[in-house]
A and B are shown apart, each in its own frame.
Chain A
Amino acid sequence: MPGRWLVFSAAVFLSASAAAAEEYRFDVEAFEKKPFELNGYAELRAERSWLDRDAALYQLNFFDQEAHSALDRMTGALELSGLYRRGIATVQATVHGEGARDELGSEGETRLYEGYLTLEPATGTRVEAGKRVLRWGKGYAWNPVGFVERPKDPNDPELSREGFVMLGGSYTRSLDGALKTVTFTPLLVPTTGHLNEGFGSGEHANAAARLSLLYRDTDIDFLVLGAGARSARYGLDFARNLTTNFEIHGEWARITDATKPMLSASGAVTTQTADATSYLLGVRHLSVNDATTILEYYRNGTGYSEAEMQDFFRFGHTAYDTFLQTGTDTALQRARDLLEASYGRPTPMQRYLYLRVSQKEPFDILYFNPAVASIVNLDDHSYSLAPELLYTGVTNLDLRLRWFLLHGNWLTDFGEKQNAQRLELRVRYYF
């Protein structure tokens, strides 16, 4: 009898163990490091833009198109990232392809965002060559010290961007004492007629460097870009946790001989050259209810004053009226060129405030994160407001719904943008 019980108990134990093993399986060998890796995402984005036909930017962008009060746009994107490692060498590349269609037509392009070789002879010592995305600065929405990168869109700060071809390296040392880490990153961003066109014109080596420190509990960076295709500039940034749920960060940049195209109300175009100072101060706070707040103040030293921007908008409206009356578009084309060069930046003026509040999983709905972001122009008091719903409950699938609402009076930054509202649904699948 005891023998039967023993057999029965063993059977129960074994089946329970088998069930447990089946229930929680961890094939760790599948995650061993491999020489080759490939991953990426495919994305579909559906947008509806409600156009403001009285706005200067609508008139400049659509004067030669059939009048529309709304535009529906569908975009498909594919981003592939690959990596190959052998010994001390690693080759990485990211390719981004995108195609879009709306009532006005279709467009598409594929670009190499990154493609570079890394050699790491020792931990903390690295040499890199190729096309590389560098992100300098501590700011979330803006980076005044982002000297060697393409401009960030504060409406979507986490969007991937294309890099520049460069030769660089980094040397890191960890230390005992108040100064805990030192990293030095020198680099060259060469420009020729065909190489790094977006960085600037002329044939230059464009030397830059960053010195990063962790001093006590504060991150500090000193950054410099020598004169070349861009004017010389230098700056610093910092970030620190003041308490366990409150972080502060900031950036300061001095740009020598910053050039700014100017359009007067009469239509005269001049280029203003002067040294400029830009800076950013920001905080990040996490509440006991898991609400994260990011607040940043941005002073854009190369931005336009309220009067300068009003001159541009006024000229745009006048040029549009002239076009309607006479059919002559010379003035409109001139304004459109300036729009692309400088006035059309997402935040072209001097003082802005960025606020983003996101709530993690309200009402205990797992993987659901609503947020609202706002950019306020402190010079003319116009603003954008963007409520957002993000759901990540299905493995590898992100669903994001955003609604941009722009508000501002006549001749104000957000009041003269081409959209009054924009609704965007993004479905992204990672693989």
Chain B
Amino acid sequence: MRRPPCAFLLLVLFLAPSAYALDGDELLRRVDRNLNPESYEAYRKLINIEPDGRRKEYVLYTVKKGRDKLIALFLDPPSEKGRATLRLGDNMWLYIPGVGKPLRITSLQSVVGGVFNNADILNLDYSVEYRVEKAAEEPADYTLELKARTGAVAYDRLNMRVDRATLTPTEIEAYAASGLLIKTLHFKDIKDFGGIKRPSVIETDSPLYKGYKSVMLYAKIKARVFPDEVFTLDYLPRAGELR
């Protein structure tokens, strides 16, 4: 039997990354894992910046387990402290300390005022909420066109630009079903969170809120697996004890 020529092997090796890069679904799953472990805890700061420079800041503690279990708890400012949101798949509940019990909310409802909505605060893995419709590669980036799997997410389509070197997003454009550009997310400042190297800053601008900017800062992203009983209505008021 004749051995394949070396030139052929080199060609296969050369083409392999390109073939892989165009497997959009696998690429999106890699992007997800590079952003967060599947089960983790993290701290986030959300900053809304108004055209005159005025800021409003929120600090959130987030825990996630598996594909679709997630809690986001507000730690700051005091007016929002203790407010917690639980997501189990498409089911969402909001706990407000003053109200005293978790209430079911629609998945598109805003948890706090400002540019952020639930999709920004309670986002699951991109590959869970979106399927890849088109994948392409450019010299420095991959580009993915994503379509929402259900109507439960705020953005019907995402155009994602992925850095080839780190396989993390550099920019995401979020569109409504009507085709309207709702916001653009810019991923910046890659940091090493104890083995997870990912952008630590996401800046958002929106043509709907001209002059306004919102920023999300990440800290202490850590792989951690919580018991399932944490992701229940009964536990939600005690989510602060997880830290």
Contacts and interface: CB of A to CB of B under 8 A. Distances in A.
Physical interaction between A and B? yes
Interface of A: 20, 24, 26, 28, 31-33, 39, 41, 81, 85, 90, 118, 120, 123-124, 133-138, 140, 157-160, 170, 172-174, 180-181, 183, 185, 212, 214, 217, 219, 239-241, 243-247, 249, 284-286, 290, 292, 360-361, 364, 366-367, 369, 392-393, 395-398, 430-431
A217 B57 CA distance: 33
Contact of B229 (A118, A174, A185, A360): A174
Nearest to B227: A123
A148 to B, nearest CB: 12
B79 A28 contact: no
B47 interface: yes
A26 B202 CA distance: 13
> Which 9 residue pairs across A and B have the least CB separation, nearest first?
A124-B229, A174-B228, A135-B101, A28-B219, A430-B79, A135-B100, A33-B243, A430-B78, A367-B113
A15 to B, nearest CB: 15
Contact of A284 (B56, B106, B220): B106
Nearest to A31: B75
Given A245-B106, A366-B114, A367-B113, A170 B229 contact: no
Nearest to A32: B243
Contacts of A249: 104
B232 A158 contact: no
Interface in B130-155: 150-152
A158 B101 CA distance: 10
A87 to B, nearest CB: 11
B212 A366 contact: yes
A133 to B, nearest CB: 6
B102 to A, nearest CB: 9
Interface of B: 43, 45, 47-48, 50, 56-57, 59, 61, 75-79, 81, 88-91, 96-101, 103-110, 113-115, 150-152, 189, 201, 208-209, 212, 215, 217, 219-220, 226-235, 238, 240-241, 243
A360 B110 contact: yes
A398 B104 contact: no
Contact of B232 (A120, A181, A286): A181
Given A120-B241, A124-B232, 7 more contacts: A24-B47, A123-B235, A181-B233, A214-B91, A217-B89, A240-B104, A392-B79
Contacts of B108: 244-245, 286
A364 B201 contact: no
Contacts of A31: 43, 59, 61, 75-76
B77, B151, B212, B235, most chain A CB atoms within 10 A: B235
B95 to A, nearest CB: 11
Given A28-B43, A124-B235, A170-B234, A292 B109 contact: yes
B215 A24 contact: yes
A395 B77 contact: yes
A138 B205 CA distance: 37
A361 B113 contact: yes
Nearest to A368: B113
A241 B106 contact: yes
A217 B91 contact: yes
A158 B56 CA distance: 24
Contacts of B56: 367, 393, 395
Contacts of B91: 214, 217, 241
A160 to B, nearest CB: 6
Contacts of B99: 135, 157-158
B114 A367 contact: yes
A90 B215 CA distance: 35
A136 B102 CA distance: 10
A247 to B, nearest CB: 5
A158 B99 CA distance: 5
B201 A241 contact: no
Contacts of A185: 234
Nearest to A240: B104
Contacts of B97: 81
Contacts of A123: 226-227, 229-230, 235
A398 to B, nearest CB: 7
B218 to A, nearest CB: 8
Nearest to A396: B79
B104 A366 contact: no
B232 A24 contact: no
Contacts of B110: 290, 360
